[in-house]
Amino acid sequence: METEVGAKVDRMAVNPATAKLLGRIERWPLSSYHMKVRAIVGTANFFDAIDYVTIGLVLPVFGQLWRLTPGQMGLLISGSFLGQMVGATGFGRMAERYGRIPILVLVTAIYGLANVSCALAVGFASLLLLRIIQGLGIGALSPVAATYINEIAPTKVRGRFVLLFELLFAIGILVAGFLGRWIIPTYGWKAMFLVGGIPPLLILPAMYRLPESPRWLMSRERFEEADKVISQIDARISAAGKTLGPALESVPATPVPSGRWRELFSPMYRVRTLVIWAIWITVGFISWPLVIWLPSIYRNVFHVTLVQTLNYAMFNNITILAGTVSCVFLIDITGRKKWFTGAFALAGLSLVILGLSGARTAAEVFALTTVTLYCITSLNLAIWLYTCELYPTRIRALGSGIAMTWAKFAGMVAPAVIGWTMAGGHLASIFFGLGVISAVVAVITALLAVETKGRVLEECSP
């Protein structure tokens, strides 16, 4: 099936300048320049993570203060996912047309301003509206940032380099847990939104000055600009004390872009697209809805104290970081396919056991969901690396954005489903159902996923 791309390539001219420029990119060693770029973009990713979990930490507080029903709390969680679904697709397409950096700056500004505004919400309706707007920026930031980082990463260390970038997201989650444990009882829930919103606005000038992705410039046939950017990066790498070898000659030339969403279903990419959508939907249905709902489950179902609820959330976030770190250092060894298959299988097993046992105590829920979170949330980061490897530059941001849209649709539906099911007293059924979904996708991944470990992006996706 992989060779069927030939029919597509025959209809498009191949520019030899692309291969020459790619050869210069692929000779880049990992340098302090790459670290600087990763730190700037990663800072936005870090506070993006704080935004993700803030709603789960503050819901037990203003949920009681505003006397919200489980259905209303579910809608507040879903509202952000609705915005993310729209933002991922719309801004992903804009990133293919206008470039990675302008859209990164725009969406970072949107979610920073919206997050600050959430601190001014006075009730359910105003916060729901602001959560939707906030989601527009958050939904677009992740696919565009991951695309940009993938496109500048040296192939030999791309897995670890990209996942260390994504690791900042997991660290943000961990920090959010500690901040929530300290800030919410002391300064109130509104302070958490300010902590997540102000710093991203402060990094906008540094982000604006980053060079555009040379791969994107080539995809738009702007070869002179791509050459200039590559030369600038060459100079910065040399200034950092790194030696540039000769340009590689074996890098495959890529065709002039089509950049149309229909290519996602061409013979080359059809199965890839369906598999990665299944992965995204499952991650979106289980990971963040579960992370966000767990504090309210502990508080409202098992009636533990607010302090103990925040302690559980903090330890869950430590687990998430541990799973992510494991993924960073092992995925280039195990490969993408084995990691995804194993993570889905183990997460599914722990959830099914929890469902069959009846989810009778907070301690039982905490123990088994800890295993689930270790596995499933590692995929929240690995999925960006893998999705970007599955598509060529001409549709990479678009393909990633559409795939993420499915996750956001699942994330929008799941909180409401969990809220309604929990209100009906069927908590164990929630965990059992999520476990079955995870197990099914483990089988799909094992049978149909493509391995991309150690391959140049243009080789993975012509």
pLDDT (tens digit per residue) in 270-292: 999 999 999 999 998 888 778 77
pLDDT in tens, 339-353: 999 999 999 999 999
The yes-or-no verdict on residue 459 having pLDDT over 80 is no
Q: How many whole angstroms separate alpha carbon 78 and alpha carbon 56?
A: 12
Compute the average pLDDT of residues 104-109: 93
Alpha-carbon distance values, 178 to 50, 167, 288, 317, 459 (Å) = 11, 17, 18, 9, 43
* 148 contacts 359 by C-beta, under 8 angstroms: no
The yes-or-no verdict on residue 223 having pLDDT over 60 is yes
pLDDT in tens, 315-368: 887 888 888 888 888 888 888 899 999 999 999 999 999 999 988 888 899 989
Q: Is 29 exposed, middle or buried (0-12, 13-18, 19+ CB in 10 A)?
A: middle
What 363-369 contacts at long range (C-beta under 8 Å, 24+ apart), as own/partner pairs, is 365/294, 365/297, 365/298, 365/302, 365/431, 366/298, 366/312, 366/315, 366/316, 368/431, 369/290, 369/294, 369/316, 369/431
- pTM to 2 decimal places: 0.68
Specify the CATH number for 2-240+262-460; select among 1.20.1250.20, 1.10.287.890, 3.40.1010.10, 1.10.3720.10. Answer: 1.20.1250.20
Query: Which pLDDT score is estimated for 256?
Result: 45
The yes-or-no verdict on residue 62 having pLDDT over 80 is no
Residue count of the chain, please give it. Answer: 462
Query: Which pLDDT score is estimated for 3?
Result: 38
Compute the average pLDDT of residues 201-221: 90
pLDDT in tens, 127-158: 899 989 988 888 788 778 888 988 888 777 77
Tell me how many helices (H) and strands (E) the chain has.
Answer: 19, 0
Residue 124 structure tokens: 């359910």
Average pLDDT score, the chain:
82
DSSP type of residue 378: T
